[in-house]
Structure 1
Amino acid sequence: MKPLLSIWIMLLCGIAGRSFAQTKTSTDTVVKPPVQLKTVHIVQYNFFKDSLAFREEYAKSLTFRRLKWYEVYGGLSVNINNLYRVTQFKKNKKKITFKHMLLNKEQEMFVSRVYTPSLVNKVTHLDGDSLQLFMQHYQPDYAFIKNASDYDLYLAIKKEYEAFMKTRDSIPVQP
């Protein structure tokens, strides 16, 4: 009886499939209206506004200064709150480390604003993976970028590009 049931199911499926295929005509296709996408506003990156916002956001951490031992005394008395702050060695060390980390981040943002792939491409005509590899291994430091003129920066990139071309095959690729 099971084989008979499976035969009936196959026949019914075949008939239903044929009837569905026959009823579909070209008039059934309906043209849907185009999808309307939301508009995107592109804002030009402004380092100075971002730097000011960064400074405002982390103002308390960037202005942190560990109290000195002599600041605990106020005339003939001892300020207990200042004494407590001075003796929090681990907390003070973490705050100072965080302050240095924020300053380094700001310097990295400044360097990345000046030392861009379009600038390096304009000077060296590199593109793709070789451009990324060059920029990873030959990135100038903050002090140089801050004090260098455009001409000095171009010369430094050209000089580093010549060294890169000599040792390009021996540089390991980092993911």
Structure 2
Amino acid sequence: MKKLGYEDYEINLNNNFKDITIYLKPSAINLNDVLILSKRDYLNDSLKMRKDYANVFAFKAPTIKDMVVEKGWRYPTVGYNLVSNSTSSIVSFDILKTIGLLTKNKSSISKLQKVQLRDEEMNYVNHRFDAEKIASITKLEGDSLQNFIRIYRPSATEIRKMNDYQILMYIKKNYVEFIKPNKD
């Protein structure tokens, strides 16, 4: 006798029993782990990330204008009237801001901003060009689906220009190309 969740039990029923009750021992069933993921809301995730990293997204790299310290009668500074015939009495450069300008792409905030913006763009493309939508249109699955996404994934700039209908047509057009025999 076999029953799911109980140990197997054998009994010989050669004798004529009217009623028989058999008690089976329960057995533990070990199942593999299950990972449950919620469907994410791209817009809320993006807004939350922008809020969490507000100072990073608000960061503006220094410009040449930031290096210049204006002097003269309108902008009095210490010693502005000592050497009136010198160009340094009109304009000078802030050394720290000059160094900041020369290293603007190397600062940790600038790098973090680039990473966050790149992640936001990637998530936007994934949201608009998602595997579930592609699979429902093309009936691709597994490696074929992943290859299709890898090959025909549009850039963030391209997908921003497309409405939902244009994305649908883009997928259909590229699916025809994807399934062509003897493609190189």
TM normalised by structure 2 equals 0.60
- What code does the residue aligned with 1:119 have? K
**Residue of structure 1 equivalent to 2:128:** 114
Q: 1:45 aligns with which of 40, 52, 62?
A: 40
Residues 62, 99 of structure 1: 8 Å contact kept:
yes
| Residue deviations 1:89-127 (CA, integer Å, cap 9, x gap) | 564212434423321211110110111111111111111
- What code does the residue aligned with 1:155 have? M
The alignment covers a number of residue pairs equal to 136
SS in 2 for 1:157: helix
Residues 93 and 150 (structure 1), Cα distance of their counterparts in 2 relative to 1, 3 Å cut:
same
1:9-158 to 2 correspondences below 5 Å:
43-71=38-66, 72-73=68-69, 75-77=75-77, 83-89=95-101, 91-95=103-107, 96-158=110-172
SS in 2 for 1:73: strand
TM normalised by structure 1 equals 0.62
**Identical aligned pairs, as a percentage?**
24
In structure 1, the gaps of 5 or more residues are 1-28, 171-175
Residues 55 and 127 (structure 1), Cα distance of their counterparts in 2 relative to 1, 3 Å cut:
same
- Which structure's residues are more often helix, by fraction? 1
- How far apart are 1:87 and its partner, in Å? 1.3
Residues 120, 157 of structure 1: 8 Å contact kept:
yes
In structure 2, the gaps of 5 or more residues are 1-23, 79-93
